Structures are given as C-alpha cells and as structure tokens.
C-alpha cells in the first residue's frame, strides 16, 4: 500500500513539474514577444526568432507527449500554445509596420553607445555569434 501512495504522489509531482515546465517555456516566449518586460531594462523587447523557438519547442513537446498526458496537462499545453501562437502573429504584424517607421530600433542603439562606447560593439558581435550558433543547432 505504501508503494501505491508513493507512486501516486510522484505522478502528481511529475504532473505539476510538467505544467511548471510548460509555463516556464511560455514565460520565455512571452518575454521575447515583449509581453513581459526585460528585467534588466524594464522595457518590453521583441525577438521573434527566440520567441518562435520557444513556441516551436512547446509544439514539439505537445506532439511528442500526445496520448501520454493527463487531461489537465493536455489542456494547459494546448491553451498555452494557442495563446502564444496568437500573440506571435499579432506581434509579428507590428514590426512590419514599425519597419517602415524604423524609429524605435535606432533609439535603443544610440542610447547604449552613449553610455559605453567600446563595449556594445563587442557585446553585439558576441551576441550575434552566439545566436548564430544557437539558431544553427536548432535550425538544422
């Protein structure tokens, strides 16, 4: 009897951990969709490539776990994924309109070099290099 209770508890814990994992992935996607402010700057920043990566990962998890989830787990991942996909579509429409204006993008760049001129170019290069490596490993 004690074994049954332990198994039930561990299944409940695993279910809770799965839901927490899905929510963490969703928070990361929301951060890169600009829905959650960046903790360092306090402003919402959009990075559609990274947001898409997290959304795609949730889609992959949903597909790979199909038939193995509880009703609650299935509902959480389905609702989370559909909300993020809708938000992605909305946000991806905005930058196209913003690109014609192109006023928001130069402002952050001009603010950073004014504070620290030598460091941002090297930081930008290393970030772009790491992003290229990161996206290449997932894009292949």
CATH numbers and ranges of domains, the chain: 2-102 (1.20.58), 105-140 (no CATH)
- pLDDT tens-digit readout, 56-76: 999 999 999 999 999 999 999
Whether this prediction's pTM lies above 0.85 is answered by no
Contacts of 73 (CB under 8 A, 6+ apart): 15, 18, 19, 22, 65
Mean pLDDT calculated for residue range 81-97: 85
Mean pLDDT calculated for residue range 81-92: 94
d(CA 63, CA 122): 40
- pLDDT tens-digit readout, 93-120: 875 544 433 333 333 333 334 433 334 4
Other beta carbons less than 10 A from residue 41's beta carbon: 10
**Among 3-12, 30-39, 47-56, which range has the highest average pLDDT?**
47-56
Asked if 81 and 59 count as a contact pair (C-beta separation under 8 A), the reply is: yes
- pLDDT tens-digit readout, 127-136: 444 444 444 3
pLDDT at 87 over 60: yes
d(CA 1, CA 20): 29
Asked if 69 and 12 count as a contact pair (C-beta separation under 8 A), the reply is: no
Write down the pLDDT at residue 135: 43
d(CA 134, CA 127): 10
- pLDDT tens-digit readout, 17-43: 999 999 999 999 999 999 999 888 888
């Amino acid at each position: 009897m004690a074994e049954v209770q332990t198994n039930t508890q561990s299944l409940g814990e695993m279910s809770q951990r799965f839901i927490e994992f899905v929510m963490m992935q969703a928070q990361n996607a929301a951060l890169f969709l600009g829905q959650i402010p960046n903790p360092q700057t306090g402003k919402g920043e959009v990075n559609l490539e990274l947001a898409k990566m997290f959304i795609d990962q949730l889609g992959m998890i949903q597909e790979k776990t199909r038939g193995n989830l509880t009703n609650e787990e299935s509902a959480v991942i389905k609702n989370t994924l559909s909300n993020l996909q809708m938000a992605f579509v909305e946000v991806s429409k905005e930058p196209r309109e913003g690109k014609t204006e192109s006023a928001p993008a130069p402002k952050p760049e001009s603010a950073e070099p004014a504070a620290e001129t030598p460091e941002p170019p090297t930081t930008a290069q290393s970030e772009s290099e790491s992003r290229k490596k990161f996206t290449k490993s997932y894009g292949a």
